[in-house]
Structure 1
Amino acid sequence: MTQQVTEDPATRTPRTSTRNANLSDLAHMLEVQNGRKLDVVAPASSLTVANGNLIMSGVEPAMTSQGRAFMSDGAYQPTNVAEEGFAAKLGIPVGYLRRMRTENPALYDINVCGWLEQDPTRKFLIRAFRGDAAENGGGGVARAFLSDSYRLIDNFDILTAALQGVESSGHRVEIRGCDLTDRRMYVRVESDQVAVQARELLRGYRSPFTGETGDQLPMISAGFVISNSEVGSGAFSITPRAVVQVCRNGLTMSKDVMRAVHIGAKHDEGIVQWSGATRARELELVASKTADAVQQFLSPAYVEAKIAEIEREAGKQISDPAQTIEVVSKQLSFSGPVRESILNHFIRGGQTTAGGVMQAVTSTAQTLSDADAAHELEAMALPALAAAARAA
Structure 2
Amino acid sequence: MKEGRSLRGLATELERQLASKKDMIVPVMKMHVSTDAAGQCALVVDEQDSEHAYPVTDFALRQIADKHAIPYAYFERMRLEQPVLFDQNVNTWLHANASVNRLVRTLDGKARAFLTDRYRRIDNWDLANYILPILSRLPGARFESVELTESRMFLKVVTSNVSCEVAPGDVIQAGVIVSNSEIGHGKLRVEPLIYRLVCRNGMIVADRAMRKTHLGRKLISDEDNVVVFQDDTLKAEDHALFLKTRDMVESAVSEVTFRLISAKMQKTMGIKLLGDPVKSVEVLANRFAFNDDESGGVLRHLIEEGDLSGFGLLNAVTGYSQDIADYERATDFEEFGGHILNFEPVDWKAIVMPA
Q: Does 1:340 align with 2:296?
A: yes
Q: Could you say which residue in structure 2 is the equivalent of 1:360?
A: 316
After TM superposition, the structure 1 = structure 2 runs for residues 24-173 of structure 1, keeping only pairs within 5 Å, are 24-51=8-35, 52-60=40-48, 73-130=51-108, 140-166=109-135, 171-173=139-141
Shift of 1:111: 1.9
1:261 alignment partner, one of 199, 209, 213? 213
Post-superposition offset of 1:298: 1.6
Call closer, same or farther: CA 1:19–1:190 in 2, change over 3 Å: closer
What SS is found at the alignment partner of 2:46?
Answer: coil
**Which residue identity does 2:54 align to in structure 1?**
Y
Deviation at 1:56, TM superposition (A): 3.0
1:305 aligns with 2:260: yes
Whether the 8 Å CA contact 1:189–1:225 is kept in 2: the answer is yes
- Answer with 315-324 or 100-109: which moved more: 100-109
Instruction: Provide structure 1 residue ranges, at least 5 long, that are not aligned to the other structure.
Output: 2-17, 62-70, 131-139, 200-214
1:288-337 Cα shifts (integer Å, max 9, x gaps): 22331232222233212112123333421113100111122112221111
Q: 1:303 to 1:247 in 2, by over 3 A?
A: same
How far apart are the structure 1 equivalents of 2:320 and 2:81? 35
Q: Quick one: distance in 2 between partners of 1:170 and 1:189? A: 9
- The sequence identity of aligned pairs, in percent, is 29
- Equivalent position to 2:195, from 233, 240, 243: 243
Alignment match, 1:294: 249
Letter aligned with residue 381 of structure 1 = G
Cα distance change, pair 19–42 in 1 and its aligned pair in 2 (3 A)? farther
Deviation at 1:275, TM superposition (A): 6.4
Partner SS state of residue 35, structure 1 = helix
User: Secondary structure in 2 aligned to 1:149?
Assistant: coil
**How has the CA–CA distance of structure 1 residues 119 and 287 changed in structure 2, closer, same or farther, with 3 Å as cutoff?**
closer
CA contact (8 A) 1:162 1:286 kept: no
Asked if the contact 1:196/1:220 (under 8 Å) is kept, the reply is yes
How big is the shift at 1:181? 1.6
Q: 1:389: how far off? A: 5.1
Contact preservation (8 Å) 2:205, 2:339: no
Deviation at residue 384 of structure 1 after TM alignment:
3.7
Checking the alignment, whether the CA contact within 8 Å between 2:180 and 2:189 is kept in structure 1 is yes
Tell me the amino acid that sits aligned with residue 49 of structure 1.
Answer: V
Give the conservation status (yes or no) of the 8 Å contact 1:357–1:388.
Answer: no
Structure 2 SS opposite 1:174: strand
The equivalent residue for 1:376 is: 332
Within 2, Cα distance between the matches of 1:78 and 1:105? 14
How many pairs does the alignment contain? 339
CA distance in 2, matches of 1:325, 1:275: 48
Q: TM-score, normalised by structure 2?
A: 0.89
1:360 deviates by: 0.8
Aligned counterpart in structure 1 of residue 227 of structure 2, from 257, 261, 271: 271
TM-score, normalised on structure 1? 0.81
Structure 1 Cα separation of the partners of residues 121 and 4 of structure 2? 25
SS in 2 for 1:144: strand
What is the CA-CA distance between 1:357 and the residue it aligns to? Answer: 1.1
Match of 1:192 in 2: 160
Q: CA RMSD in A?
A: 2.2
Secondary structure of the structure 2 residue equivalent to 1:21? coil
Q: Contact between 2:34 and 2:44, CA under 8 Å: does it hold in 1? A: no
Gaps spanning 5+ residues in structure 2: where?
Answer: none
**1:175 corresponds to 2:163:** no
CA contact (8 A) 1:236 1:260 kept: yes
- Cα distance per residue 1:353-390 (max 9 Å; x no partner): 12111111101112211122111222111334534554
Equivalent residue for 1:391? 351
Partner-residue secondary structure (3-state), 2:4: strand
